[in-house]
Amino acid sequence: MDVLEILRNESQKCIRCGFCVYVCPSWNAHGKLEYYSPRARVTLIRSMLEENFNINDAIDSLFTCNTCMRCLAECPTGINVADLIIYARHYSLQKINKE
Ligand code: SF4
Ligand code: SF4
């Protein structure tokens, strides 16, 4: 499976339940803003695969995750958000460098 496929398949598993949000230290440290939650990060990852998405809109959210994996234990669909974010960081930097 290539990176794009992993990003697409995993991000589509999110049912937006929000169980992951309250355990996220990054969300807590950023005034409990949705943009810094695991749920938002997964949504941004799904959006950044679309053609017209401005990748810069996802950068701060992606790079403020500390990859602690606390959200994984809460996720009913088993999304490893930390792993996904690491892939998404590589993907976003590649896209920015090509622009
Ligand atoms: S891995 Fe990232 S998104 Fe998940 S709880 Fe930790 S800081 Fe939050
Ligand atoms: S717990 Fe999992 S399915 Fe629910 S919002 Fe978070 S990432 Fe999505």
- Section 29-50 average pLDDT: 97
Query: CA-CA distance, 66 to 8, in Å (whole number)?
Result: 22
Q: Tell me, what's the pLDDT at 67?
A: 98
- Section 83-94 average pLDDT: 96
Tens-digit pLDDT profile for residues 23-39 = 999 999 999 999 999 99
Tens-digit pLDDT profile for residues 53-66 = 999 999 999 999 99
Query: CA-CA distance, 14 to 51, in Å (whole number)?
Result: 21
Q: Tell me, what's the pLDDT at 97?
A: 86
User: Distances in Å between the alpha carbon of 35 and those of 4, 32, 70, 86?
Assistant: 22, 9, 17, 17
Q: Tell me, what's the pLDDT at 71?
A: 98
Domain that holds residue 19: 3-98
Task: Tell me which residue has its CA closest to atom 3 in ligand 1.
Answer: 38
Please tell me the total count of domains within the chain. 1
Q: Ligand 1 pocket, 71 CB below 6 A?
A: yes
Ligand 2 centre distance from Cα of residue 52 (Å):
25
Q: Tell me, what's the pLDDT at 1?
A: 76
* Residue 23 belongs to domain with CATH number: 1.10.1060.10
Specify the DSSP class assigned to residue 50: S
Specify the DSSP class assigned to residue 41: H
Pocket test of ligand 1: the residue of 14, 23, 24, 37 to mutate, having most ligand atoms within 8 Å of its CB, is: 24
